[in-house]
Amino acid sequence: MKRDTTVSQARELDEQDTLKKLRAEFYLQPDVIYMDGNSLGLLSKRAEQSLLSLLDSWKKHGIDGWMKGEQPWFYFSDRLSEMCAPLVGADKKEVMITGSTTSNLHQLVASFYHPKGARTKILADELNFPSDIYAISSQLSLHGYDPKEHMVLVKSNDGNTLNEADIIEAMKEDVALIVLPSVLYRSGQILNIKELTEAAHERNILIGFDLCHSIGSVPHELSDWDVDFAFWCNYKHLNGGPGAVGGLYVNQKHFGQKPGLAGWFGSDKEKQFDLSIQMTPASNAGAYQIGTPNILSAAPLYGSLEIFAEAGIDAIREKSLKLTDYMTLLIEEELSDYQFAIASPMEHERRGGHIYLVHEEAARICKALKEHQVIPDFRSPNGIRLAPVALYNSFLDVWKTVQILKKIMKEESYKKYENKREVIA
**pLDDT tens digits for 130-174?**
999 999 999 999 999 999 999 999 999 999 999 999 999 999 999
- Residue 214 and residue 71 share a domain: yes
What does the mean pLDDT of the chain come to?
97
User: Residue 416 has what pLDDT?
Assistant: 93
CATH code of residue 325: 3.90.1150.10
The pLDDT-based confidence of 423 (bands split at 50, 70, 90) is low
Residue 1 has pLDDT above 70, yes or no: no
Please state the residue numbers annotated as binding site: 101-102, 129-132, 210, 213, 235, 264, 292
**Helical residues (DSSP H) of 143-252, grouped into ranges:** 147-150, 164-169, 193-202, 222-225
- Residue 246 and residue 131 share a domain: yes
- Residue 157 and residue 26 share a domain: no
Last residue of a domain, one of 254, 275, 310: 310
- Residue 125 and residue 11 share a domain: no
Per the structure, how many domains does the chain have? 2
The pLDDT-based confidence of 419 (bands split at 50, 70, 90) is confident
Residue 214 lies in a domain: yes
Last residue of a domain, one of 294, 310, 326: 310
CATH code of residue 107: 3.40.640.10
Residue 38 lies in a domain: no
Residue 424 lies in a domain: no
Residue 422 lies in a domain: no
Residue 422 has pLDDT above 90, yes or no: no
Residue 43 lies in a domain: no
- Residue 193 and residue 110 share a domain: yes
- Residue 354 and residue 229 share a domain: no
Region 396-405 average pLDDT? 98
Residue 284 has pLDDT above 70, yes or no: yes
Residue 283 has pLDDT above 80, yes or no: yes
**Cis? peptide before 381, omega within 30° of 0:** yes
- Residue 407 and residue 278 share a domain: no
Residue 271 has pLDDT above 80, yes or no: yes
- Residue 333 and residue 294 share a domain: no
Interatomic CA distance for residues 72 and 64, integer angstroms: 9
The helix (run of H) or strand (run of E) holding residue 380 is none
Phi–psi pair at 153, nearest 5 degrees = -105, 115
- Residue 108 and residue 235 share a domain: yes
Last residue of a domain, one of 310, 339, 367: 310
- Residue 303 and residue 322 share a domain: no
Residue 302 lies in a domain: yes
Amino acid at residue number 216 = G
Q: If we measure between CA atoms, which residue out of 257, 198, 234 comes closest to residue 104? A: 234
DSSP 264: G
Q: What is the domain range of residue 171?
A: 49-310
pTM for the whole thing?
A: 0.96
Please state the residue numbers annotated as binding site for pyridoxal 5'-phosphate: 101-102, 129-132, 210, 213, 235, 264, 292
